[in-house]
């Protein structure tokens, strides 16, 4: 019975149960046999005891052997199940993609770096002086109003434009200057195309004999690189306190090639950024001789460029973290 029983055991758990049933403790079968001693005729007892002991010895030996075999078998099974097939194709893991605003930011930095611009990251908390006064913004300009600007204290505010960085750069560096300043800006503004926080990229070039033609030439290259060959720009007069003259820059509609479509509302042109020749007063505020030097500056809204390029009609979609939106824009 022991022999057959042992053969049928399937796991070491069953083996140990079997052992305690037959061989261990007072209630085991072997103890039962020993207890039978009293019912055996006295002259038979010595023989009986010897046989039972031999049986016990034998059973323990068998048990040990089966235990070893069992352990070996279970180890093999474990190895088998843990075997790794290195030739299997790897499970695909989603690595995600860059956010559309990050894509545009990277793309623009690449383009401008190729033209010799250096990146200067300004500060998000500014004083009224850097964000407005040094940029020639009159005390009563509506942008200073509590409606548009987030004031942290009478002295500090969240910058409303990366133009604030222009001043820091010009205070610390003599021309030639060629910098690009990307970063977050903040305005009390909230609708389908405006968000209280968005990203701008400021460009500033100051050197001898810089004119609007230099700006226009650079912008043409820029829009061709972003929106494709054949895209051009046109400048419309505008107003910014820190540039004179100031221009609003349109690019020819890349969706319809300038013929007129829903994207450009039939005009063939799309407004992409603000720019101008740096106001002499701003140069002077930073200790740069405005007779010797001139410059141009431009400010690009990154969300706007991303929305146009990827056909996104609500700026909130860019900040919603909705993967159904973000997964559609899958560039490296």
Residues that constitute the known binding site for Mg(2+): 244
Binding part of the chain for ligand PHE, among 91-99, 211-219, 220-228, 296-304 by CB under 6 A, reads 296-304
Binding part of the chain for ligand PHE, among 98-106, 112-120, 126-134, 274-282 by CB under 6 A, reads 274-282
> If you ran DSSP here, which 8-state letter would residue 175 be given?
S
Binding part of the chain for ligand PHE, among 18-26, 176-184, 250-258, 294-302 by CB under 6 A, reads 294-302
The count of residues interacting with ligand PHE (CB under 6 A) is: 11
- Helices 12-22 and 42-81: crossing angle in degrees, nearest 10, is 170
104 in contact with ligand PHE (CB under 6 A): no
**Would you say 150 and 188 are in contact if contact means Cβ atoms under 8 Å apart?**
yes
Q: How far is the C-alpha of 331 from the C-alpha of 111, rounded, in Å? A: 16
C-alpha 51, offset from chain centre:
78
Task: Pull the structure tokens for residue 98.
Answer: 């860059």
The one among 137, 149, 161, 231 contacting ligand PHE by CB under 6 A? 161
276 in contact with ligand PHE (CB under 6 A): yes
Q: How far is the C-alpha of 210 from the C-alpha of 290, rounded, in Å? A: 11
279 in contact with ligand PHE (CB under 6 A): no
Which residue carries 């609500």 as its tokens? 314
CB closer to ligand PHE out of 6 and 204: 204
Q: How far is the C-alpha of 250 from the C-alpha of 219, rounded, in Å? A: 10
**Would you say 187 and 149 are in contact if contact means Cβ atoms under 8 Å apart?**
yes
**Would you say 298 and 219 are in contact if contact means Cβ atoms under 8 Å apart?**
yes
- Which residues sit in the known binding site? 244
Q: CB of residue 303 vs ligand PHE: minimum separation in angstroms? A: 13
CB closer to ligand PHE out of 6 and 202: 202
Q: What is the four-CA torsion angle of 84, 85, 86, 88, rounded to 10 degrees?
A: -130
CB closer to ligand PHE out of 103 and 219: 219
132 in contact with ligand PHE (CB under 6 A): no
* Residue whose Cβ sits closest to ligand PHE: 299
CB closer to ligand PHE out of 56 and 184: 184
Q: CB of residue 247 vs ligand PHE: minimum separation in angstroms? A: 8
Q: How far is the C-alpha of 70 from the C-alpha of 313, rounded, in Å? A: 68
Tell which positions 201-240 bind ligand PHE, by CB under 6 A. 202, 240
CB closer to ligand PHE out of 42 and 237: 237
Q: Are strands 118-119 and 177-186 parallel, antiparallel or unpaired?
A: parallel
Which residue carries 């605003």 as its tokens? 101
252 in contact with ligand PHE (CB under 6 A): no
Site mask, ligand PHE, residues 165-204, x = CB under 6 A?
Answer: -------------------------------------x--
274 in contact with ligand PHE (CB under 6 A): yes
**Would you say 19 and 5 are in contact if contact means Cβ atoms under 8 Å apart?**
no
**Would you say 200 and 298 are in contact if contact means Cβ atoms under 8 Å apart?**
no
CB closer to ligand PHE out of 122 and 276: 276
Residues of the shown chain interacting with ligand PHE in the complex, contacts defined by CB under 6 A: 161, 163, 202, 240, 243, 274-276, 297-299
């Amino acid at each position: 019975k022991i022999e057959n029983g042992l053969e049928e055991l399937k796991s070491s758990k069953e083996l140990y149960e079997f052992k305690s049933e037959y061989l261990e403790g007072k209630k085991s079968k072997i103890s039962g046999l020993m207890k039978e001693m009293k019912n055996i005729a006295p002259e038979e007892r010595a023989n009986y005891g010897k046989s039972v002991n031999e049986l016990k010895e034998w059973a323990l030996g068998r048990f040990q052997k089966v235990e070893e075999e069992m352990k070996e078998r279970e180890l093999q099974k474990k190895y088998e199940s843990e075997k790794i097939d290195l030739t299997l194709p790897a499970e695909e893991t989603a690595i995600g993609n860059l956010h559309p605003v990050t894509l545009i930011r990277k793309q623009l930095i690449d383009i401008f770096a190729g033209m010799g611009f250096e990146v200067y990251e300004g500060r998000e908390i500014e004083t009224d002086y850097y964000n407005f006064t040094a940029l020639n913004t009159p005390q009563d300009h509506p942008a200073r109003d509590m409606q548009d600007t987030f004031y942290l204290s009478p002295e500090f505010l969240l910058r409303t434009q990366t133009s604030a960085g222009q001043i820091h750069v010009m205070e610390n560096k003599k021309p030639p200057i060629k910098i690009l300043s990307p970063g977050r800006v903040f305005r009390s503004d909230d609708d389908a195309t405006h968000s209280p926080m968005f990203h701008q990229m400021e460009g500033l070039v100051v050197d001898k004999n810089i004119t609007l033609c230099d700006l226009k030439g650079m912008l043409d290259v820029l829009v061709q690189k972003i929106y494709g060959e054949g895209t051009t720009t046109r400048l419309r007069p505008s107003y910014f306190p820190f540039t004179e003259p100031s221009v609003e820059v349109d690019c020819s509609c890349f969706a319809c090639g300038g013929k007129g479509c829903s994207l450009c509302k039939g005009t063939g042109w799309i407004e992409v950024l603000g720019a101008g020749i740096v106001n002499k007063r701003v140069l002077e505020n930073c200790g740069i001789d405005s007779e010797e030097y001139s410059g141009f500056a431009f400010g690009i809204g990154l969300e706007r460029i991303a929305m146009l390029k990827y056909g996104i009609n609500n700026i909130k979609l860019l900040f919603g973290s909705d993967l159904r939106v973000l997964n559609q824009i899958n560039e490296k």
